[in-house]
Amino acid sequence: MEMMRAWVAKPGELVLEQVPKPIPASDEVLIKIDSVCICNGSDPEISSGHEAFALPMLFGHEASGHIVQAGADVAGFSVGQRVCWWCTMGGFAEWAAVSPSKIAMFVPPPNVTREQAPVLELIIASARALMPFTDCCQGKTLAILGLGPSGLNATQYAKALGFGAVYGWDLYPARRALALTLGADAVYDPAAADFGEQIKSMPEADIALDMMGDDLLGDETFITLTRKVKPHGTIVSYGHPAHNRVFKPYVFQNRCLSLISPENDYAVIREKGKTLMGFVADGRVKVQPLITRVDVFENLGAVYAQWLERLDSDIKMIFLVEHK
């Protein structure tokens, strides 16, 4: 049995182990992974125990590599292509067997580097929050709660789609500053002493994205967001707050708001993802500004443990896989 190196999530730790190399089924491609990326939003919850995932497990889902084998039933992809995809677990490994028919797989644009390629999983994932509105967003106002990696990408994707105004809230100055460079019209600090006054000058949003993890300020932040959405407006629930989200039903009912999920239909994601890849190719959606660290695959566990102590210290962390 051929073996490979992979990061395995166990209770309280990530361990680099030798595990069996996957053997692709007839509908799968075998991918030689060359770079991976930590998911700031869901990886911490998954590695600490998530209701949808049982530990131990092969960890990670943001990865990129080249197809080295394609099963007889695979259509649309071939040996030699570089690919990224949303979404399967087990990406923090030297090899992965993935079925393109069961996910949304893409060939990165030629201008995307090896270091940038795994971030495209995040680009695809976060864009799903806006995919329900791609045909009705021209001139609309968008509010984004949480300017982490997903919120930052949503900012530039929204501007590329034609939203008229995009503004966001975030606790961390570096994220707010980056959002402005990526196209945000305004950013705000919900912890600011005068935030209550600032709110009065903000435009009401047609659409709002809840891209935030746990609310460090308490439940009032999200409740305040609901008060800034226009009557009959829509809020997309995208973030993964470990302690759930609390809101006031009266505000929702009084303003006739709708709460929806991101786009989860793979056929829709594949189709709209083509336009998204075009935005990456022409520079309207930028990957490089999101990358704050590049390291080697062997250091992933130690870097991840350090990062968990201060989740705001990096935006996207890339690890390069050199096959032994």
Give per-residue pLDDT as tens, 4-63: 999 999 988 899 999 999 999 999 999 999 999 999 988 888 887 767 788 899 999 999
Give residue 213's pLDDT. Answer: 84
229-237 and 258-260 strand pairing: parallel
- Residue 306 sits in the same domain as residue 242: no
- Residue 256 sits in the same domain as residue 134: yes
- Residue 254 sits in the same domain as residue 278: no
* Omega cis (within 30) before 256: no
Q: Which of 221, 242, 260 is the last residue of a domain?
A: 260
Rounded distance between C-alpha atoms, residue 148 and residue 311, angstroms: 10
16: three-class secondary structure by DSSP: strand
- Residue 95 sits in the same domain as residue 138: no
252: three-class secondary structure by DSSP: helix
- Sequence-ordered list of residues with C-beta below 8 angstroms from that of 164, at least 6 positions apart, any chain: 138, 139, 140, 141
- Sequence-ordered list of residues with C-beta below 8 angstroms from that of 236, at least 6 positions apart, any chain: 129, 130, 132, 207, 208, 209, 210, 259, 260, 261, 262
- Residue 269 sits in the same domain as residue 298: yes
Rounded distance between C-alpha atoms, residue 219 and residue 143, angstroms: 17
Using 50 as the pLDDT threshold, list the residues of the chain that sit under it.
none
Rounded distance between C-alpha atoms, residue 240 and residue 171, angstroms: 17
| pTM recorded for the entire structure | 0.95
Please state the domain count of the chain: 2
- Residue 292 sits in the same domain as residue 241: no
Per residue, what are the HEC states of 144-156? EECCCHHHHHHHH
Given a contact cutoff of 8 angstroms between Cβ atoms, the answer to whether 88 and 63 are in contact is no
Q: Which of 211, 241, 260 is the last residue of a domain?
A: 260
300: three-class secondary structure by DSSP: helix
Residue with tokens 């006054």: 197
Rounded distance between C-alpha atoms, residue 313 and residue 255, angstroms: 37
Give residue 48's pLDDT. Answer: 75
- Residue 256 sits in the same domain as residue 271: no
- Residue 274 sits in the same domain as residue 248: no
Which domain does 60 fall in, by range? 3-124+265-320
- Sequence-ordered list of residues with C-beta below 8 angstroms from that of 192, at least 6 positions apart, any chain: 198
Q: Which of 245, 260, 275 is the last residue of a domain?
A: 260
The domain that holds 65 is classified in CATH as: 3.90.180.10
Per-residue tokens: 313:
């210290």
* Cα-based angle 33, 35, 37 (whole degrees, multiple of 5): 120
Give residue 225's pLDDT. Answer: 95
- Residue 256 sits in the same domain as residue 270: no
Comparing C-alpha atoms, which of 103, 97, 111, 126 is closest to residue 39? 126
- Residue 251 sits in the same domain as residue 138: yes
The domain that holds 136 is classified in CATH as: 3.40.50.720
- For the chain, the first-to-last Cα distance in angstroms comes to 17
- Residue 21 sits in the same domain as residue 114: yes
- Residue 155 sits in the same domain as residue 90: no
